[in-house]
Structure 1
Amino acid sequence: MSDIVDQINDIHREVGSRQVAGEQASTLVTRRTYDAAIEDVWDACTDPERIRRWFLPVTGDLKLGGRYQLEGNAGGEILRCEPPELLKVSWLFGENPGFSEVEVRLTPEGDERTVFELEHVAVVPPEMGDFGPGAVGVGWDLTLLGLGLYLSGSPIDPRDGAAWQSSDEAREFMTRSSEAWGAAFAASGAPADVVAVAVSATTAFYVPERPDTEGA
């Protein structure tokens, strides 16, 4: 197993639900510890020049109450900003995105280690129901991986992200990530058949069969 794939085991995952504005929302929590000071992790997550090096280019009025937009991805409003410990944003796609918020919490563990915790709360549209938490969970695992590699000085250039995601290493990482989110889904009380469908759908989405293997 490569060092990158092995990092699946460094991530803690939780799945749940709660009421938000009268609707039932799904909750996802992912947690990982980095060998970096809290100020460095905070800066990597909030400085637009550093964000583009491990995640995506970001534009907007990057301050409390301002709006941001990730290139080709989510956008929204900066709801809370309490450096170097807490960042909360709305996380929206499309013209009628519904409710979706992401909160990042950082906790120092000594001088040179930081616990990074991310919670994503969203009202899931019916068409996404079969995917379960892995629909966004795999994406967040990739994000935590990218941040970890960047902080360690061995980043994957985001410009090469599409090429890397088709590699055997990335496909193994995403497959194991989908299975890990399935395990977290099961631990939340989801029935085994629902979990199986979710893992299958999520894995097929992130790790489609290659053209040369279809029908084999």
Structure 2
Amino acid sequence: MDFEKAFGADIREVGKGEREGRLTHVVRAARTYPTSQADLWTAITEKQRIERWFGDVSGDFKPGGRFSIEGNADGDITSCDPPHTLALTWEFGGNKSWVTATIQDVKGGALLTLEHELPTDKESEAHWEKFGPGATGVGWEMAMLGLDGHLQLKGQPVIVAGQEWAEAKKGKSRLRSWAEAWGESSH
């Protein structure tokens, strides 16, 4: 995979939401992949495939099941409507947020829209004020990039190559540009 031509999201949006009567921040990223809706669905929901592009994962992959991504987040699968929508909690650093992935058939492939809804309690709001939407958005764009590599390379693992790229000078520069784009999306 040519990481120098890499991009994360086609669409970046930042907005407000509401959950359980409380305001939330919403970070939304979308990208079209040249594959079918069914193939993209299995790439984001099957353990063996997730581990090739995202990380080591364990758990019970069904509604009501609990999952864990090594060195990242844990959560509960709250809703699953194959091959359209997956909703889950995202528990990271002592905070709980919510993620919804939606897949649609579109011209040229399948559109993945990922929406991450973050709470606005005092601690979460301090993190948002310090790092902005880029803290969430860039992480998801890196995941979208890994997913793209997985699909391009017909299922070959891409995690190590992606980490090496992200730590190199050109990768850091690209990630910085993504963070700036997220900042611009929030205005």
Poorly superposed stretches of 4+, deviation over 4 Å: none
SS in structure 1 of the partner of residue 63 of structure 2 = coil
Q: Using the alignment, how far apart are the partners of 1:157 and 1:4 within structure 2?
A: 11
Q: Which has the higher contact order (CA 8 A, sep 6+)?
A: 2
Letter in 1 for 2:143: T
Q: In structure 2, what residue type is equivalent to 1:93? A: F
SS of 1:56's partner is: coil
User: After superposition, where does 1:48-63 map in structure 2 within 5 Å?
Assistant: 48-63=47-62
Matched residue, 2:182: 181
1:120 aligns with 2:121: no
Match of 1:194 in 2: none
Change (3 A) 1:58 1:10: closer
Structure 2 residue 64 is matched with structure 1 residue 68: no
Structure 1: segments with no counterpart, 5+ residues: 187-216
Distance 2:160 2:172 in 1: 18
Aligned with residue 104 of structure 1, among 98, 101, 106: 101
Change (3 A) 1:3 1:184: farther
Residues 14 and 133, structure 2, Cα contact 8 Å, conserved in 1: yes
Structure 1's 162 and 6: CA in aligned 2 closer, same or farther, altered over 3 A?
Answer: closer
When you count strand as a share of all residues, which structure comes out higher? 2
In the other structure, the counterpart of 1:141 is 141
Write the deviation string for residues 36-74 of structure 1: whole angstroms up to 9, x where unpaired: 011110011011001010111110111111000001111
Normalized against structure 2, the TM-score is what? 0.89
**How far off its partner does 1:20 sit?**
1.7
TM-score, normalised to structure 1's length?
0.77
| Stretches of structure 2 lacking an aligned partner (at least 5 in a row) | none
Compute the displacement of 1:5 (Å): 4.5
- CA positional deviation for 1:134: 0.4
Identify if the C-alpha distance between structure 1 residues 38 and 135 changes in structure 2 by more than 3 Å, giving closer, same or farther.
same
Partner amino acid, structure 2, of 1:149:
G
State how 1:3-18 maps to structure 2 within 5 Å.
Answer: 4-8=3-7, 11-18=10-17
Give the share of equivalent positions with the same residue, in percent: 34
RMSD over aligned CA atoms reads 2.1
What is the letter of the counterpart of residue 148 of structure 1?
D
